[in-house]
Chains A and B, each alone.
Chain A
């Protein structure tokens, strides 16, 4: 068995070596995507184009505006003089946010009355709107505190009445609440899923299309040996992917890696086995590379969206939550984030690791069984 497996492996690596663009195709898109994700995938909102209509023109109103500008989150793009001008700014996408300070703002504050402040948000991008509103709450809380002589911590959560409960929040594992710390570990799992599933599926379907698969199957090699020979290289490539993206995350984006290397390796290996199983399974349903492409598109995107990479699983409808149970990426993201940021070990992560092992076993078994049938 070892002889036939080693000749399969030798052939695979020879083909890979012969394909002079292979390394380029494998590595460059990966690096570019990590960098793009690292810089672009963030929920933090900076430089929100903001229009201001200051009908009070007082010390207090100017003070409030300067509070907004000082955070760097808001750029005043227009100081409007009429309500119509403000509406036009939002209609024409000049501004996403508009602040209206009514006449009498200063007076209300000085008299200790509640001073109303109108904020208009363009809800087209609900995410940005929601986050910007959060900042506004913080800024207003800070402003009210300043006005009443108290100092409140900047990152104080939503606006709190100045009197009564004083909120003391403390964030663990990511004290700066840096989105990158959340995203980059997720990117490692996601990119590996995208790359390894399609590589595996395409490589096998290509052998089917060219006719080499049938040729190999009339040799004494067993289907199991063929599948091993075909998947071991992709397992190694997958490990390489994970190492490369992790290195970029740690060295370039300074994501902390506080956990155990071995837990990471174990998680990565189980994840790769499950993902290879997925690729194999797709290949048994495809006669041509085009079919494999369509299937890959059909499956990989939902696995990506329903993984908890960006959208919390807990917020999904129940039937979608059930679907995530068979998604290996879901478990790997838990493991990888925990290993990177929390540093927890097997004692905590074993259920996720066990689920990945189970999925890997099921997918590989089903695909090996289906593989035999698909030869007819």
Chain B
């Protein structure tokens, strides 16, 4: 864990939420330290947004507690809100107002002093590459720019905790890079960031991850240790016909799982020393020819698929 272990920015204990008969979030526990970028990773419907909204205090949990900087969110919402900032998938901007006016409005809502607001907004606009668009109406910005403006509005009051719900969905690569640059800068300043994402490459940039599936945390650790936790060894096989290859290999003895990765496939096996020659013989028999089979570093996606696959079998 990074940062001072005594200091905890967000502590979530026993958090649960049901929508009718659907258990959207089940007994979720985690804590985030200042300077952490904590990623909630999972497919759509895993409960990411529900957790985010409960952290932000706009949705009340059925069970469990959330403390932000030691302040209980449901007992003392106004105090908690001053410490945190929430950016939903689509940040609510006033499209009839200009970039500068939106920033002004959100700054005033959090009672940011004038001089601080001016200095902060200048800094954030520069970091986001939006300083040339200060007078443009928010409604006339591109999707990526809107999202960056949302982040600026969310950050204008310098929160201790920043909640980002799938912040870069639908954002172009350049804006995404700007976005992450701002996040790393915040991290260095000791802001605790909780971020949900369905993008695995984005998950790798987090300092800690919680793999979320059907409302439960399956695994919670640093990306490196999560990769170590993957059962089996990962092999990569390049081929012009990865789909065909996968059909041959899937379900063979010792093969724990397969995953299509563009022009190659990832094959998870129990014992590489024994399975690599076996696979080569198998592929030769099928007329694919000698395939190049190498060991590969697992990505978060491989781990995620491995864990979910296990979960389905059991």
Contact = CB atoms under 8 A, between A and B. Distances in A.
B82 A220 contact: yes
Contacts of B59: 376
Nearest to A11: B105
Contacts of B126: none
A103 interface: no
A19 B92 contact: no
Nearest to A210: B92
Contact of B111 (A3, A11, A215): A3
30 contacts: A3-B111, A4-B108, A7-B108, A11-B94, A14-B96, A14-B97, A15-B94, A15-B96, A15-B97, A18-B97, A18-B137, A210-B95, A211-B91, A213-B92, A214-B92, A215-B86, A216-B109, A217-B58, A218-B56, A218-B57, A218-B85, A219-B81, A219-B110, A220-B78, A220-B81, A220-B82, A220-B110, A220-B111, A375-B58, A376-B60
B90 interface: yes
A3 B108 CA distance: 8
A365 interface: no
B88 interface: yes
A88 interface: no
B206 interface: no
Contacts of B84: 218
B96 A218 contact: no
Interface in A341-376: 375-376
A214 B88 contact: yes
Interface in A5-19: 7, 10-11, 14-15, 18-19
Contacts of B105: 7, 10-11
Interface size class of B (residues with CB under 8 A): 20 to 34
Contacts of B301: none
Contact of B106 (A3, A207, A210, A219): A219
A211 B109 contact: no
Contacts of A376: 58-60
Contact of A218 (B86, B90, B111, B137): B86
B308 interface: no
Contacts of B109: 4, 7, 216, 219-221
A175 to B, nearest CB: 51
Nearest to B90: A211
A265 to B, nearest CB: 32
A218 B81 contact: yes
B72 interface: no
A215 B96 CA distance: 16
Contacts of B58: 214, 217-218, 375-376
B293 interface: no
Interface in B85-134: 85-86, 88, 90-97, 101, 105-106, 108-111
B28 to A, nearest CB: 18
A44 interface: no
A279 to B, nearest CB: 20
Contacts of A71: none
Nearest to A225: B109
A25 to B, nearest CB: 14
Nearest to A215: B92
A36 B90 CA distance: 45
A212 B97 contact: no
A212 B109 CA distance: 12
Contacts of A4: 108-109, 111
Contact of B92 (A14, A211, A220): A211
A222 interface: yes
Contacts of B101: 11, 14
Contact of B97 (A11, A218, A222): A11
Nearest to A217: B58
Contacts of B106: 215, 219
Nearest to A209: B92
Contacts of A221: 109
In order of increasing CB-CB distance, the 8 nearest A-B pairs are: A211-B92, A212-B92, A215-B92, A7-B108, A219-B109, A18-B96, A218-B86, A220-B81
Contact of A211 (B60, B78, B88, B97): B88
Contact of B78 (A19, A216, A222, A375): A222
Contacts of A18: 96-97, 137
B62 to A, nearest CB: 11
B143 to A, nearest CB: 14
A220 B110 CA distance: 7
A21 to B, nearest CB: 12
